[in-house]
Chain A
Amino acid sequence: MPNTISSASTPLAIHIDQLSYKYHKADKTSFYIPNWQVTQGEQVFLHGESGSGKTTLLNLLAGVLTPQSGDIALLEQALSTLSSKKRDKFRAQNIGVVFQQFNLIPYLSVLKNIQLASYFAKTGNTQIEQEASALLLALKLPTTILHKAANTLSVGQQQRVAIARALINKPKLLLVDEPTSALDAASRDAFMTLLIDLCKQHSITLVFVSHDMYLKQFFERSVNVTSLLKEESSKC
């Protein structure tokens, strides 16, 4: 089993090789990606129709789903070589994830939500409150919301808190799934600008999944999922 991936001049954030995944064992057709690479520090817009497999790819990248065959290497670490426990830890420490909605545990305070991410990553960070405040400020949120329950915030605020939580462990990779679908146009644009700026600032690799082609303008590179699924394709 090849678990070392040839290191190019620029280190790769994502390297998918001959990946095959079946939703159910009995399925005849499988989800298949021959090859895909994202270099570290890149911001990629991954688009496609509903049901085209965007979310499945995201789940595979996050290590929540495991492929039947083929390899996924994140930050030059092959996921298949890790035990499920180590994979959970790897995800906690290196990958930030933001969903379409329901990112936060509703009954916990904003601070508790952020602390939880740090707790599971076992970083032993003792200055979470200060760092969380700094992140909230960077995301243009008042720090007074730290002690509010997550379900008392507006959806826009919740999505920005989700970004803050995804960034608290200083991940190298950020996976984002349609985070703006519940936002109005003005807050969507503000959200996108903030997100891209933060990723560039901290040189975080971003994979942004959406069906909304309007958002393409915020990215340098955009990929259609359906093109990935076919033979040998990685286009701009």
Chain B
Amino acid sequence: MLVSLAWSSLASRRKSVILTFLSLLISISVLLSVEHIRQQAKESFNRTISDVDMIVGAPSGQLNLLLYSVFRMGSPTSNIDYKSYETLKGSSLVKWAIPISLGAHRGFRVMGTNNSYFEHFKYGSKQPLTFNSGQPFNTLFEAVIGADVAKKLNYKIGDSVVIAHGIGNTSFTHHDNTPFIIKGILSPTGTPVDKTIHVSLNAIEVIHLSPTKQAKLLNNVDSVNTTPESITAVMLGLKSKFSTFKLQRDINNYKADRLMAVLPGVAMTELWQMMATVENLLRIIGILVLVSSLFGLSTMLLASMAQRKNEIAVLRVLGAGPSIIFSLVLVEALILVILASIAATALLGLTLWLLGDWLGATYGLFLNANMFNVDTLKVIAVITVAAIITSAIPAYEAYKNALHSSLSAKS
């Protein structure tokens, strides 16, 4: 009864109530999205790489190396010698080594590697890459594509495509005399792998060749030397975790090439530390926006008290005690806040669902559009408590009104 009364009361003040609702909706959406994206970004980044003990690349920041080798964001500053990869692979401490070679492309990334990638690379909780269909590449003009690439461009096994190196973009179109044949399609992983085209290391060299040389190669695979001279980075798996620091020191002091070894876990921690400041800033802004709109709610209810004097007098006469009047105002505030929370959750879920592909492609963020989780509930619980506290002001005003309201409706 109290809820239905509060609902009718809100409905009778539709205009100011809808405006307050919108302001709550926006502020709750801001706060929820900051929290959700924070959580999901961490999860999304953490699942990108698993079981890789060390990443070796050209010296730069360890964060930089992590970002371009694992997340395929930004571009490598310089490369390392192909010979260094062979040396690392031959080391007695190393179990396996995956060479990777990236071009400075936008759009779908083209990455040169070898079959050890499909064998040893893991993501999430030590899950290996699996083929949805097809198999790893064997020859120069074969490619393995990620799940999103296949879905977006509608490619199937056996399709032939041109992978050309444009000025800033990778153009990737069907063509009559196209050299690359799609040999395999990977299962979805929710990591940047989904948006990558994998070819052999040699193929990366081919993409950088002049069109005449490419044409020559098509006729005879051995006519041009395509052995890579340099690659971008190497991912290492070690035989024993105990040798990690010894190997890292050895690599960093390697004389024949300028190398830097980073531990993914350590680099990831640095990434979080860097992001923590931004996170906190966003959080504070979110909280301030929420507080301001809760005050808006309180103001709206307080302003309505003058016009509701008669209403309160009537309720008093019918036997409603001051505490019921107090709860009535509180219930009105709660209805608004809870409805706004539900709407904000739905709005965010829908937005993330619609923008998911774009976020993944542009920022390497794979966000779960499902907003119904414990963290969302926690945020909503905090919002509800804050709403109760702020709307206690108008509720107390109504309570006082009720105490002093007399049967005379003249004033």
Q: How far is the CA of A85 from the CA of B11 in the complex (A)?
A: 29
Is B1 touching A119 in the complex (CB atoms < 8 A)? Answer: yes
Instruction: Judge whether A92 and B406 touch: CB under 8 Å.
Output: no
A138 to chain B, nearest CB (A): 21
- A89 near B: Cβ within 8 Å? yes
- Within the assembled complex, what's the spacing in Å between the Cα atoms of A105 and B315? 8
Does A105 contact B314, Cβ atoms closer than 8 Å? yes
Determine the interface band of chain A, counting residues with CB < 8 A from chain B.
20 to 34
Contact of A177 among B315, B319, B408 (CB under 8 A): B408
For the complex, what is the distance from the CA of A185 to the CA of B118, rounded to whole Å?
96
Chain A CB within 10 Å, residue with most, of B4, B317, B320: B317
| In the bound complex, CA of A223 to CA of B7 (Å) | 44
Nearest-Cβ distance from residue A182 to partner chain B, whole angstroms: 11
- Taken residue by residue from 84 to 126, chain A's Cβ proximity to chain B (1 for < 8 Å, 0 otherwise) reads as 1100110111000101111111111000100111011100000
Given A103-B314, A120-B319: A64 touches B409 (CB 8 Å cut-off): no
- Indicate whether B115 reaches chain A with its CB closer than 8 angstroms: no
A84–B325 alpha-carbon span in the complex (Å): 14
**Minimal Cβ-Cβ distance residue in B for A103:** B314
For A102, the chain B residues whose CB sits under 8 A away are 310, 313-314, 409
Stretch from A2-10, A37-45, A54-62, A71-79 contacting the other chain: A54-62
SS class, residues of chain B in contact with chain A: helix
A93 and B314: CB pair below 8 A? no
Is B318 in contact with A116, judged by CB distance below 8 angstroms? yes
Q: Check if B314 sits within 8 Å of A104, measured CB to CB.
A: yes
- Residues of A with C-beta under 8 A to B9: 107
Report A56 CB to chain B, min CB distance, Å. Answer: 8
A190 within 8 A of B: no
Distance, CA A84 to CA B314, complexed state (A): 17
Complex: chain B residue closest to A209, CB-CB: B407
B1-16 interface with A by 8 A CB criterion: 1, 4-5, 8-9, 11-12
| Interface membership of B38, Cβ < 8 A | no
**What is A's interface to B at a CB cutoff of 8 Å?**
55, 58-59, 62, 64-65, 84-85, 88-89, 91-93, 97, 99-108, 112, 115-117, 119-121, 165, 175, 177
24 contacts across the A-B interface (CB closer than 8 A) = A55-B407, A55-B410, A64-B317, A64-B405, A88-B316, A88-B320, A89-B319, A91-B319, A99-B313, A99-B407, A100-B409, A100-B410, A104-B314, A105-B315, A107-B9, A108-B5, A108-B8, A112-B8, A115-B1, A116-B315, A116-B318, A117-B319, A120-B318, A121-B318
